[in-house]
Amino acid sequence: MRLIISPAKKMIGEADVAHRDLPVFIDRAEILREWVCSLSYDEQKRLWACSDAIATQNAERFAHMDLRSGLVPALLAYDGIQYTYMAPTVFEDGHFDYVQGHLRILSGFYGVLRPFDGVVPYRLEMQAKASVAGCSNLYEFWGDSLYQEVVRDDHVVINLASNEYAKAVKRHLQPEDTFVTCTFGELQNDRVVQKGVYVKMARGEMVRYLAGIQATDVEQLKGFAWSGYAYDEARSTPANYVFVR
């Protein structure tokens, strides 16, 4: 069983834990790094769709980037709401081994990351308008390689990623694959309404919950009951597990 999650925009550049491996698609990340560096500052800023302060920071990062040294484990490098509520810095015995085997982080820059793959801070979202290597966008650049890496040894995928990243895998699914999306929301007028911040929190907690019980079967997801959520069988389907509070 594979769990897929999105990266976070904010990243840190150091950690107390050492990385174990280089990313699987490090050579393709090098292509993207060279392409970003070939752009003018104004082109970079449009690519990142951000403020001058963030653009300046990331232009400096790419100009001096070394993808093979000074690396931080991916799971500890991303600093967003989902990662805060996953709380990997206080994982208990067995949690790290579980996520290393089951969790994959999707990235516009690195493609697919295992939790202990070494990364550096960067900014490049999957939906960025990147015309690189003869491709019109990053979905075309990565093709089915993210899908192939995610399902390499297991064709059961639990989707805890945003649509932006999940579709890089979902669009290549085959009949033999099981792809289950987890929806977290609140009931309003008998409708399930998803609120961005709370969804990210629940996704992080779901990863921690599954690591805690060492889950290996999709049925075990239904036991998730953190932060007031409960599995809603009536609103769920085999491809979409709905949790409401």
Please give the helix or strand (H or E) that residue 105 lies within, else none.
Answer: strand 103-107
Which domain, by its residues, includes 84?
2-244
Q: Which among 44, 69, 242 has a CA at the least distance from the CA of 129?
A: 44
pLDDT of residue 227: 93
Tell me the two tokens of residue 147.
């899908």
Q: How far, in Å, CA of 221 to CA of 243, rounded?
A: 10
Summarised one tens digit per residue, pLDDT across range 95-132 is: 999 999 999 999 999 999 999 999 999 999 999 999 99
pLDDT of residue 190: 85
Q: How far, in Å, CA of 66 to CA of 88, rounded?
A: 25
pLDDT of residue 93: 85
Q: What's the average model confidence in pLDDT over 36-54?
A: 95
pLDDT of residue 196: 86
Summarised one tens digit per residue, pLDDT across range 199-237 is: 999 999 999 999 999 999 999 999 999 999 999 999 999
Report whether pLDDT(32) > 90: yes
User: Parallel, antiparallel, or unpaired: how do β-strands 178-188 and 240-244 relate?
Assistant: parallel
Half-sphere exposure in the Cβ direction for 23 (13 Å, CA): 28
Q: Structurally, how many domains does the chain consist of? A: 1
Summarised one tens digit per residue, pLDDT across range 56-90 is: 999 999 999 999 999 999 999 999 999 999 999 88
Alpha helices in the chain (DSSP H): 26-38, 41-48, 52-63, 74-77, 81-86, 95-102, 138-142, 145-150, 163-170, 196-213
pLDDT of residue 12: 92
Query: Whole-model pTM?
Result: 0.96
Report whether pLDDT(16) > 90: no
pLDDT of residue 144: 98
Q: How far, in Å, CA of 207 to CA of 5, rounded?
A: 9
Report whether pLDDT(15) > 90: no
